[in-house]
Chains A and B, each alone.
Chain A
Amino acid sequence: ETGVTQSPTHLIKTRGQQVTLRCSSQSGHNTVSWYQQALGQGPQFIFQYYREEENGRGNFPPRFSGLQFPNYSSELNVNALELDDSALYLCASSLAMGLVVEQFFGPGTRLTVL
């Protein structure tokens, strides 16, 4: 086990609703990255938080937003849900130091938008 936890494990929402997903990083890790994995695809980078600030963002619209808290846990918020937002949402924690930074993934939250 990586020590990264996510909640909830599964979630069903309808179009137009808003959702908040949560991630607790591995002890000692100060960086959290969020990824979206659609069925049959590899994970796609949404954004990364380092010490409570957004530190990089992928090609996702502004309705995808996030937060990181002083204990380095993180939230992903998605507004105005669309059918295509149905996916596995993964968070990964890492310690931002050194040349090769391994990211440890949580088990994911499976979101279904109806």
Chain B
Amino acid sequence: RKEVEQDPGPFNVPEGATVAFNCTYSNSASQSFFWYRQDCRKEPKLLMSVYSSGNEDGRFTAQLNRASQYISLLIRDSKLSDSATYLCVVRPTHQAGTALIFGKGTTLSVSS
């Protein structure tokens, strides 16, 4: 089983749609969770951290379920500019030297 698994893409949605991405992780002791966004041929950029209580940043809502080892990202009112690849990322420990473990990414394409 891969350490971080994401929904296979691509997701093709019209502007204004709501879209949800799911992700599961295998290491139950993982400590930190993130969603990164990567535009075509660019570097990944942190979109948001994910907390057990859930967190929201404008149109984006992230949820973490530690019992199910499941992370989600909800995007409401999709914009053309949301088109990108969304990477689910897990950090196994808080210790310095710990790598970020990336999922394969899910591609979102928002059309007008």
Asked whether A and B interact, the reply is: yes
Q: What mask results when residues 1 to 25 of chain B are scored 1 for a CB within 8 Å of chain A, else 0?
A: 0001000000000000000000000
Inter-chain contact A48/B97, CB cutoff 8 Å: yes
Inter-chain contact B97/A50, CB cutoff 8 Å: yes
Chain A, interface size: which category? 20 to 34
User: For window 28-62 of chain A, which residues contact chain B by CB distance below 8 Å?
Assistant: 31, 33, 35, 40-45, 48, 50, 55-56, 58
Partner of A33, one of B46, B99, B104, B105: B99
Smallest Cβ distance from B25 to chain A, in angstroms?
13
Chain B, interface size: which category? 20 to 34
**Is B57 located at the chain interface by the 8 A CB criterion?**
no
User: For window 49-84 of chain A, which residues contact chain B by CB distance below 8 Å?
Assistant: 50, 55-56, 58
Smallest Cβ distance from B29 to chain A, in angstroms?
15
Inter-chain contact B42/A42, CB cutoff 8 Å: no
Please, which residues of chain A bring their CB within 8 A of the CB of B49?
100
Question: Which of B32, B41, B99, B102 has most A Cβ within 10 Å?
Answer: B99
Inter-chain contact B103/A42, CB cutoff 8 Å: yes
State the CA gap A35–B99 with chains docked (Å).
9
Across the two chains, which residue of chain A brings its CB closest to B31? A99
Please, which residues of chain B bring their CB within 8 A of the CB of A96?
96-97
Partner of B102, one of A44, A50, A107, A108: A44
Please, which residues of chain A bring their CB within 8 A of the CB of B102?
35, 42-44
Across the two chains, which residue of chain B brings its CB closest to A104? B46
Partner of B43, one of A41, A101, A105: A105
Partner of A42, one of B41, B46, B87: B87
User: For window 82-112 of chain B, which residues contact chain A by CB distance below 8 Å?
Assistant: 87, 91, 94, 96-105
Inter-chain contact B97/A43, CB cutoff 8 Å: no
- Give the A-binding residues of B (Cβ under 8 A): 4, 31-32, 41-46, 49, 87, 91, 94, 96-105
4 further interface pairs, Cβ-Cβ under 8 Å (given A35-B102, A96-B96, A105-B45): A2-B45, A43-B100, A100-B94, A101-B91
